Amino acid sequence: MTNQEEEDKIRKAFEAKDWNDIKAADSWQIFKIMSEFVEGFEKMSRIGPCVSVFGSARTKLNNGYYKLAEEIAFKLTREGYGVITGGGPGIMEAANKGAKAGGGKSVGLNISLPFEQSGNTFVDRDKSFTFDYFFVRKTIFLKYSQGFIAMPGGFGTLDELFEAITLIQTNKVAHFPIVLVGKKYWNGLIAWIKDTMLNEEHNINEVDLDLFKIVDTADEAVAIINEFYSKYMLKPNF
């Protein structure tokens, strides 16, 4: 988006609107949001147990994390899980590719964006969704996932990761497994959480550090998911 396009967008947001305009726009938006929820719930309820894989859309094919995401997804499908991603390129593509190679269900919850995001070809045709609203998409991720694998990523990955952690911390959903893959990538963030958030500011409790695990290999990640599955029946989280 150019500077002029961004400025025009901001000016448009401040344009005067009368009450009828606002009411009409809000009403139609409510129906669109409802339709996204209804379609997502209806289709995802038929798919079965899945694990979500988060990660950057910018990760290239020759990146080690791309290969690792592909391996994790492959092994998850061999254990009987479907794999859910954001449906885009990078880590998402790698996970869908691995799920496809493993003969498992490959789900893509895409998001309409003006840049970067586009659907990958490894999502099952009947399991591809496109959302306009991030919060609807995140709800679908959280409701129908039996575990979360967080690969290295950017702001979007952190948003999805901390949403899941927050819902577990506040007991809004069950304590499903969250696995961060790549100690080198995540160690700086975890050190800040421990040193600043916990020890200096006391904004979380010691037990909150148990809400997630950090691993380096595909076997470790899959083992954590399987350990959870062996204890609890798989079902929607809320």
Range list of β-strands (E), 69-118: 82-85, 106-111
DSSP 196: I
Of 166, 147, 112, which Cα lies nearest the Cα of 222? 147
**pTM score of the predicted model:** 0.85
On the question of pLDDT at 230 being above 90, the answer is no
Q: Quick check: helix, strand or coil at residue 9? A: helix
150-189 pLDDT, tens digit each? 999 999 999 999 999 999 999 988 889 999 999 999 999 9
Average pLDDT over residues 53-60: 96
- Collapse the DSSP code of 153 into the 3-class scheme (helix H, G, I; strand E, B; otherwise coil) and give the result: coil
Higher-pLDDT residue of 71, 141? 71
pLDDT of residue 18: 63
Q: Is 120 left (phi over 0), alpha (psi -120 to 50) or beta?
A: beta
Give the pLDDT score at 238: 44
Q: Which of 149-163, 200-214, 224-238 has the lowest mean pLDDT?
A: 224-238
Phi, psi of 181 (to 5 degrees): -105, 125
Q: What is the mean pLDDT of residues 189-198?
A: 98
- pLDDT of 61 over the 90 cut: yes
- Any idea which residue has 């129906």 for tokens? 31
Burial of 23 (0-12, 13-18, 19+ CB in 10 A): exposed
What pLDDT score does 28 carry? 82
Residue with tokens 């929820």: 37
Q: How sure is the predictor about 48, in pLDDT bands with cuts at 50, 70 and 90?
A: confident
Angle between helices 19-44 and 134-143 (to 10 degrees): 20
| Cβ contacts of 39-44, under 8 Å, gap ≥ 24 | 39/129, 40/109, 40/129, 40/131, 40/136, 40/139, 40/140, 41/140, 41/143, 43/127, 43/129, 44/107, 44/140, 44/143, 44/144
CA angle (174, 98, 209) in 5-degree steps: 30
Q: Let me know how long the chain is.
A: 238
The C-alpha atoms of residue 82 and residue 110 are separated, in whole angstroms, by: 16
